Structure 1
Amino acid sequence: MKRLIMLGVVAASLSGCLDKDDSGNRLIKAVESVVAIEVANNSPDAAVKSWWHIKDMSRPMYTEFCKHNQKVASPYFSKLSQLAASEFIDEGECGSTPPLTFDRQITKVEVQSDTRAVVLARIKNTTPPDPGAVLDADAKKTKEAGEPFQYVLERKDVNSGWKITKVSSMPSYAKDWRDAYPKSEPSNNRFVYGSFQ
């Protein structure tokens, strides 16, 4: 909910600070479309489906943010292009490739108590392979099988809405659930990172 409120504030502020060109209008419309999404969290499965819907519907907004950021950063990329070949300058693709698509099916909803539930799902990537990509028999089998996902949801009490508190997946190479959103560890900054050099 806080994120949606923040997006609303961003949309309002963007309408005043963006150029009134087509790209600025597309960004404002993309943010407004996300703000307009209804959130359902009255049951564990409704909360997970709503989560998926928002994730899918927000892609155009992130594409427009990327394009806007590229426009703002154009002096930086212009300077770099005077010094290096284009393969060393990564401006980002900003939606130049088709969006990822997924088939998501809830397979089980287990309400463990008044305040905790687990939703199991199987998710398949239905995006066609990129041109030139090879999809051998093993990769095809893995793609068609998809991956099991587990969503842990909690709520404060029976009058509160459900919230996802943990998302885990079990990739084909794993034998146990893996955190889909691992917390980042503080960096010891020992790597030089070639792309910064």
Structure 2
Amino acid sequence: MQRALEDPGDPPVAPLPPACADLLVELAAPPRLAAHLRLVHDVAARLSAWLAGQHPAVTFDRDAVLFGAATHDIGKVRHIAELSGPGSLHERAGQQLLLDAGVDPSLARFAATHGDWDAPGIQVEDLLVSVADKTWKAKRVPELEQLLIDRLVQASGHEPWQVFLDLDDHLGRLAAGADQRLAFQNSHPITS
């Protein structure tokens, strides 16, 4: 687990926020989960930094995005099979784990919303976590990206085609590192 949390990676992978790393240690999270959360957190950090620079009129809570990305799959400590296979049981389980750990509901929600990004009440922060969770492995989901584009257009007043092109270009650059990220994740075991 410590290697998954501390390995610098090549290219470098940002560390998790200390509170998130401590929670993973406390829950005895599988090393592969810790590595995955670091990778999604890293992509979310780069995506949210781009958004703040490219669309300063869009208000969002960057710290919440980073926390959400760093914990979105935490329910997989209870549903380990979902680390290597499909499933969504980890979503509500993760939200409950975070609530039980004293995490504010406004932050615990990302464990549930990252897989339910078209539900009512979804915010820009939820969309950013969901996009990062897809982009880290170079998966592009047009419907998800369109929801984010619509929010950016609404907040910024920019032309939809320009927002699409800018986001598409940035996500393409982020997705380009997917092979290295997948190798990093897979270098960590599923079980401790």
Larger Rg: 1
Name whichever structure is richer in strand by fraction. 1
Please say whether Structure 1 and Structure 2 have the same fold, judged by a TM-score greater than 0.5: no
TM-score, with structure 1 as normaliser: 0.26
Name whichever structure is richer in helix by fraction. 2
Answer 1 or 2: higher relative contact order, Cα 8 Å, separation at least 6: 2
